[in-house]
Every structure is written in structure tokens, then in C-alpha cells.
Amino acid sequence: MDKFNSIIKKAWGVHNSLLCVGIDPVLSKLPKHLLEVDDTVFTFAKEIIDATHEYVCAYKPNSAFFEALGRDGIRQLRMICDYINVEYPDLLLILDAKRGDIGSSNEAYAQYAFDYLGVDAVTLHPYLGKEANAPFLNRTDKGCIFLCKTSNPGSGEFQNIPVDRAGKTFLYQHVAKQICSEWNDHENCMLVVGATYPEELKEVRDIVGDIPILVPGIGLQGGDLEKTLSAGLTSSKKGLIITVSRSIIYAGSGEDFAQKSREEAKKIYSHITKFTT
């Protein structure tokens, strides 16, 4: 069984890509012709995956959009995960679920994400501490992606609270320090830092060294890709998974929607490779 750090390096290398496509399906935004087919969400995702796979290192279905569809949504999420694992096994499969609870609940969350869905990594809250997150951390072949400095405008309400008397260390910095120094025994930890905060991304990179960072916020949230790459790349020009969702998956609304997604993914991929090759 490969350890997670080997799995993520393989994913970066297969297409020399740092791009991750987020799969966030909303029925009202899907091409109208797909609403007439069985397994609409799976069909939508499958066509986008097939059209974009050569430009990416990862896919990231967001559990919330599937949960909103009830039992059928969960069934199609499983279908999507199975499809990626069979057809594109070298690509990283991330479940964006932002889980975090006491240990017994996390045991169940880990079983759902890793054993039922078969994902390689899952997004998590660090708030309950290392002990509670042990069910995730102890899976050496799986990635634990902890929220650090998120991309939303209100993230600073808690994440930017000073945690020292001098007021020089903020909570997100403490999270980064704690995870890289105390939690990463199996080299399977990652952090989430939004592209909307490039200065904070640079600070986190300086704190954590080569630990991988998942970066949302490019595209409709307004994050700057060049600033993100300048702030977050490691010395080996890796270390980032740059996730783009809506601007890729909703690039087109007609029967050629998958081709439009491919074109948008290729454009972002080409922009990234200017900095990484």
C-alpha cells in the first residue's frame, strides 16, 4: 500500500499538472438536454472528467451538492468516485466534505469517505484537535486536508484572531505550525489556503515547508492565479493543488458543454505550466 505522499507525487507527475477540477453540480445550472437522461449528475460529471482529465492532477467532488439531492445524489457521487478510480486511477480523488467531530464520529466519517467512496483525501476541520482527528491521520495512504485560511470574505472573523500576547501570531498561522510540526507523522497532511489571500499563502508556505496546499478561490471568487503560484509553489515548483470549479464545469451550457470545460481547463493548465516548467 502506497503512502499518501507517494500518491500525491504521482498525481502531480502524470500530466505535470497542479490543476484540480471541483465537481459541484447544481441541477438548475446543468445543460438542459441532460435533464432528460438517467443519472443526470453522473452523466454531467463523467463527460467533464473525460474531457478534462489530461490537464489535471485531481478531481474534487463537493459532498454538499450531492447530499442536497438525497439518496440519489449519494448514489451518483459513489458512481463518480468509482468511475474516476477505475478510468483514471493515477489522478487524486478528493472529497470536499469539511468533516470534523469527536473521534467516534470521525471513525464513521473516515469509513464513508475512504472505504465507501474510495477517495484519496478529504477536507477536514482542525478545531477538535489531533486526538479527535486520529481516525483520519492514522490512514497513512489517505490525505487529511485541514482548513487553515479559507477563501471566503469572512474567514478572518476567527482565522485572523491573534493567539499570542504580542498580537503577532494569528490562529491560521498557529494551525499551520501545529499541523506541520505535531500532526504530520505519516506525511499525509495538507492545508487549505485560499487564492484570495496570497500574502497569507506565502506566510503559510514559509511555515510548513513542502507540505501540499489545496488552493480554492481561483475563478469566480476572484483569486489571482499568478500571485497564487508566486506565493505558494515550493522550490521544486510543486506543492499546490489549485482547485477550480464553477468557471470550468459551467463554461458551457449547451450540448458542447464538455468541450467548453476542456477549453477552460486547458487555458488554466497552460497558464500554470508557464510557472512550473
CB 75 within 8 A of CB 66: no
Nine-digit cell string for 13: 507527475
Q: What's the average model confidence in pLDDT over 141-148?
A: 98
Tens of pLDDT along 181-232?
Answer: 999 999 999 999 999 999 999 999 999 999 999 999 997 778 899 999 999 9
Please list the residues that pair with 143 across neighbouring strands: 121
Which pLDDT belongs to residue 222? 80
Structural domains in the chain, CATH included, are 4-276 (3.20.20.70)
Catalytic residue among 98, 177, 237, 267: 98
Q: How many C-beta atoms surround the C-beta of residue 269 within 10 A?
A: 21
Q: How many C-beta atoms surround the C-beta of residue 31 within 10 A?
A: 19
pLDDT tier, 277 (very low <50, low <70, confident <90, very high otherwise): confident
Q: Give the chain as a DSSP string.
A: ---HHHHHHHHHHHTT--EEEEE---GGGS-GGGGGSSSHHHHHHHHHHHHHGGG-SEEEEBHHHHHTTTHHHHHHHHHHHHHHHHH-TTSEEEEEEEE---HHHHHHHHIIIIIIS--SEEEE--TTHHHHTHHHHT-TTSEEEEEEE-SSGGGHHHHT-B-STTS--BHHHHHHHHIIIII-TTS-EEEEE-TT-HHHHHHHHHHHTT--EEE--BSTT-B-HHHHHHHH--TTS--EEEEE-HHHHTS--STTHHHHHHHHHHHHHHHHHHHH-
Which pLDDT belongs to residue 16? 96
Which pLDDT belongs to residue 142? 98
pTM of the model: 0.97
- Kindly calculate the radius of gyration of the chain based on its CA atoms and give it in whole angstroms: 18
98 is a catalytic site residue? yes
Residues 241 and 173: their CA atoms lie apart, in Å, by 20
pLDDT tier, 26 (very low <50, low <70, confident <90, very high otherwise): very high
CA 23 to chain CA centroid, nearest Å:
10
CB 125 within 8 A of CB 148: no
Which pLDDT belongs to residue 220? 73
Q: What's the average model confidence in pLDDT over 149-162?
A: 96
Per cent of the chain over pLDDT 90 is 96
Tens of pLDDT along 92-138?
Answer: 999 999 999 999 999 999 999 999 999 999 999 999 999 999 999 99
* Positive/negative CA dihedral, 137, 64, 223, 17: positive
CA atoms within 13 A on the CB side of 177: 8
Provide the residue type at 88 as one letter.
Y
Tens of pLDDT along 38-65?
Answer: 999 999 999 999 999 999 999 999 999 9
